[in-house]
A and B are shown apart, each in its own frame.
Chain A
Amino acid sequence: MPVSNKKIIITEEVLDLANLNSVIQSSQGQNGASVVFTGCVRVSESEKGLSGMTLEHYPGMTESLLDEILSQAAKRWQLDRILVAHRVGYLTAGETIVFVGTCGLHRKEAFESAEFIMDYLKNKATFWKKEHYLSDGNVKDIWVESKQRDVDTLKRWKS
């Protein structure tokens, strides 16, 4: 069943979580279940000298990959609403990088579809993180490397 409301936001602006939440929950009364996942720049990393990170993406391709992931989710689960928002540009510790919200009839489809979207986003969507560390007055930039444990998350969806 085609999802009636599917939205992708890629922005340099700080994510307005209250607004994003309200978009997902506005139809919850009719649908029963909504799940929201947010991922942020870990504050604990600032103890290791992390001052922030820069997120780069491939404009055009990122949007079409995310659209494809959301379409796949809409085919697998009956959903009323899917919203994905992702930051690009410079972020400081504690800021939200990604928001995924799904809304459907029951909790199972809301939970599973949100996890499916995050797993595919992490493995397929053309975003790259560069961490900025500050130690002894020197700035050191490190491109984050992809992790095998993220690749492994896709196995459960292949059946």
Chain B
Amino acid sequence: MEERVLVKKMIDIKVVFFASFKEQLGCSQMEQSLEQGATIADLCRILSGQGGQWQTLFSEANKNVKVACNHQMAEMSTILNQSDEVAFFPPVTGG
């Protein structure tokens, strides 16, 4: 009998952090593999799962997280694609 294995297709994305987030996490950028069709909310759940500051920052209750995908402001429901660059940062304070 033929054995069928369901292999989920994965995508690789780049995640970058700015300002206080970068310092809080001790990380400016990372690579992340996700299942195809994953959203930014899915990415946040994975990041939050790392515990510590990651959990604090990426909990759903934290409304101070701004997110961009490929230099465009994005939503939690934004679906990610291969080689996307997702950026997380606090509200801006320039000028």
Contacts and interface: CB of A to CB of B under 8 A. Distances in A.
A133 to B, nearest CB: 16
B52 interface: no
Interface string B67-95: 01001000000000000000101111111
A104 B90 CA distance: 35
B20 A129 contact: no
B19 A64 contact: no
Interface in B33-85: 68, 71
B78 to A, nearest CB: 15
Given A61-B68, A128-B89, A143-B90, A56 B95 contact: no
A127 B89 contact: no
A122 B53 CA distance: 27
B94 A55 contact: yes
Contact of A123 (B23, B89, B90, B92): B92
Contacts of A143: 19-20, 23, 90, 93
B71 A57 contact: no
A126 B95 contact: no
A86 B94 contact: yes
Contacts of A145: 90-91, 93
B92 A146 contact: yes
Contacts of A157: none
26 contacts: A58-B16, A58-B18, A60-B71, A64-B71, A98-B95, A122-B94, A124-B92, A126-B68, A126-B89, A127-B92, A127-B93, A127-B94, A127-B95, A128-B18, A128-B19, A128-B20, A128-B90, A128-B93, A129-B94, A143-B20, A143-B23, A143-B90, A143-B93, A144-B93, A145-B91, A145-B93
Interface of A: 39, 55-58, 60-61, 64, 86, 97-98, 118, 121-130, 143-146
